[in-house]
Amino acid sequence: MKLKSFTFAGLLFSAACLAHAAPQALGSSHALVIEEGTGKILLEKSPDAVVPIASLTKLMTAMVVLDAKPDMEERVRIEKDDVDTLKHSASRVPVGATIPKKDLLLMALMSSENRAAASLARTYPGGMPAFMAAVQAKIKALGLTNTVIEEPTGLSPNNRSNAVDLAKMAEAATKYPDIVRITTDSAERVQINGRELQYHNSNRLVGRKGWDIGLSKTGFTNEAGNCLIMRINAAGKAAILVLLDAKANSARLFDAMSIRRLLSGEKEERVASHGGGRHRHHHTTSA
């Protein structure tokens, strides 16, 4: 994907709409919005800075796992090695549970479940060393020259990239139907040890009226701040947006809504969670 310079004048949007999405008004420290297909830059704010990416990492994990064409019905036992000992993030997935890979992928992408992502990497053909080798090969194949990924969850602050590379990663992820389906679903139920648990999408905009989202992934750690990748359609335009290091979840949501107004010229809207505001996030890397 080649990124080209682009002027706001060519968009023919109102000055008021443009002001809402001015880079200096964004709450995210780093941002990039590109027109899908052409790579034209619609908005940018320090897009070249290399910073921690938290659970945005899980898009790479999912692509590498799916590239291996695993049996998604295969059941995986959650081991102690899958437990987060770096951030001590909470999990509803107990050690000893056996879960189909398709549900582990769902939990990892939709709700940023760290044990699910770790178990998928651990059970990759050839184990963790082979998984990490495949990650490095994927980084090279996608031309991500400013990306370093050392583990599959995003818990490590050593997983770093910039908005330019992450836009390329997001575009690649849109080519995977399973990733698109999971990340654009607002909620799903999963059976774990005979109990049915409901998982919600960590992006409160997914499933919201008026939003046409074709890919989504959130991330949060103290080092990375609040992060968001989305593919959105608005007013007949498709765009990929990357938001990094917002100081609050509300800030990244407002940034996303400002960008949507940039694309469509719609009026300002309020931030409100779907599902009656009952979202609960149990892990450090998603918010």
* CB-CB contact of 152 with 121 (8 Å): yes
Task: Give the DSSP per-residue string, 43-84.
Answer: EEESTT--EE-GGGHHHHHHHHHHHT---TT-EEE--GGGS-
Asked if 261 and 20 touch (Cβ cutoff 8 Å), the reply is yes
Helices 57-67 & 127-141 angle (0-180, nearest 10): 110
Residue 137, both tokens: 């090969």
Cα 76 off chain centre by: 24
Q: Which residues are catalytic?
A: 55, 58, 112
How far from chain centre, in Å, is Cα 62? Answer: 11
DSSP state letter for 268: P
Angle at 36 between CA 31 and CA 40, to 5 degrees: 65
Can you read off the two tokens belonging to residue 212?
């046409």
CA distance 126 to 181: 28
